[in-house]
Chain A
Amino acid sequence: MSKQKLLEINNLKQHFEISRGNVVKAVDGISFDVYKGETFGLVGESGCGKSTTGRTIIRLYNATDGNIIYDGVDVHDKKSKKDLKMFNQKMQMIFQDPYASLNPRMKVSDIIAEGIDIHGLASSKEERMDRVIELLETVGLNKEHANRYPHEFSGGQRQRIGIARALAVKPEFIIADEPISALDVSIQAQVINLLKKLQKEKKLTYLFIAHDLSMVKYISDRIGVMYQGKIVELAESDELYSNPIHPYTKSLLSAIPLPDPEHERTRKRIIYDPSQHQYNNSEEASLREVKPGHFVYCSENEYKRYKAENQ
């Protein structure tokens, strides 16, 4: 592929010790790459480790094991403050809950300008304000909104303020952690289209975390399906939707409702039973390339079977 790797994740593990001897393996050895300018979607059920993956990538958590390489540099062994600041500027995050992600006691202008202040991106008060107004207009708000407090805005407006805050530091890579799941459907499209527009204009790369499969398909170039801390299938989004291989992906896709009564009447839910794999100790399950660009988490035996099925 001619595409340039922007983010490379190798065998990332994130374990939380709840109490002595009780470890939750939120993310358990995942690897994937994100290419420059693409949108990589990460889907899976609640609690499968999607958000934890995003937060570990942006260093909100310290990884238990594995490495995250951004633009050729390992993210987790950054040492100098200057490097850290550079990294914070390049990678930003959009959060899930628009009501919790804005400080209720700060004005919108101060919320958006927080990154500008931290990174010293404005030399004067006027420049700072100009930048805030510019960002507000980028996300479809206007300068009258700058002096208001978050509680005066609707969910969609707040989410756009959150996007403006992330954009303030001119990032290259944005982790969108379920940015639309707390919004109602009409607003979801508005926010998604805004994200798409920004991607085109500012050449952004997204890691898009969600559980709404149709939205993920709409925005993503490639999709990784997560299940219990592992990526079970990874492929281009059209390929994944038209030709799912892993039984969990099949089950997940069978759950998408369509606004078509004909189809709904015949739609059968496929229930995923993890015991069907019957992995032995001798055969190690891992992510294997069944088709070019289409990876499935499987054992050697399964790999042969999948390969035969997908010729």
Chain B
Amino acid sequence: MDTKKTSLYQLHQDNKAKFVEFAGYQMPIQYSEGIVEEHRYTRNHSGIFDVSHMGQLFIYGQEDLVDDLERIFPLDLKNLKLNHSKYSFLMSDNAGIYDDLIITKIKDGFLIILNAACKENDYKILKELLNDKYKMILDEERSLIAIQGPKSVEILKSVIQGVENLNFMTGNWFTLDNHNIYVTRSGYTGEDGFEVSLTNEFADRFTRRLIDKGAKLIGLGARDTLRLEAGLCLYGHELSKDKTPVEANLKWAISKERILKGNFIGSDIITKQLNYGVNKIRVGIKPEGRIIAREKTKIYNESNSEIGEITSGTFGPSVNGPVAMGYVKNKFSKKDTKIFLEVRGKKHPATICGLPFYKKSYVKGVN
């Protein structure tokens, strides 16, 4: 299968991107200045991320659709206001995670943002679960551009007036040069920022305007260090079919109202795990010194028993040290628990820590 290119491919090339294949797409891993500089620029200024490989699934329908989606997602969708977004999961009957996603109530239906590697499968699962009752479009005609970092609001509002009034996890339609653009205040870096959905033909011109205003292109490499410092999960690493949202320490994303009523896919297991606990749970891990513990690194307790495994680990440029996340047996998950990480045959001390590693600066309410 040929790898796909996003509408910004030429722009990436013009900016000397190094490419990597990701979920069937040619994506920029970094540009000429490198991952550390790109990471810092996003934290201090404003970074642009091409996330057009992610799925933009539009599902159209009225009250029936809300009822049917509530049987799938652990969310109180009846009370989700127009243009408000929620983080959620598509689960199996065993509450294993097929994908994590953002669902937004739009006029006439919902917009769901899916991971690139999962989107085709998600589409099939949802189409089947919804009995093909609704119009569903996994839109390949639209690009998705994220702009993240403290200067992003100034930069984006100078191009699209009004975006500054959006609250965190809300969105709206805007018009620019006769193009319909859907903007949400959201992101995955631990910084204030926006995600902009727009037509493929307009994506390149629009992004060049953001660059003219001082934002810089940022690759997948820095996207990974930024989200890890922010303590955010990445599908295929922290999240997978053999882990549940409770194990992933994401129970905050499950509606309490819906837990009481149940009746969503995976609700039996979720309820059981909330009542009786889990065997393994996702935690933050801070290695001592500079040692970097990568994915699949084994975790041991003080009496040398294996208690878990790292799911993501790197060097955090803003923390100026190594950071990691992983799963450990529940009884070793308390903050400040001493653990050991086996890297290249040697055991290195580390500590279970709270998340995020780097403090978020999301704008909660601007009005």
A and B from one assembly? no
Q: Which residues on A are within 8 Å of B, measured CB to CB? A: none
Instruction: Report which B residues bind A (CB closer than 8 A).
Output: none
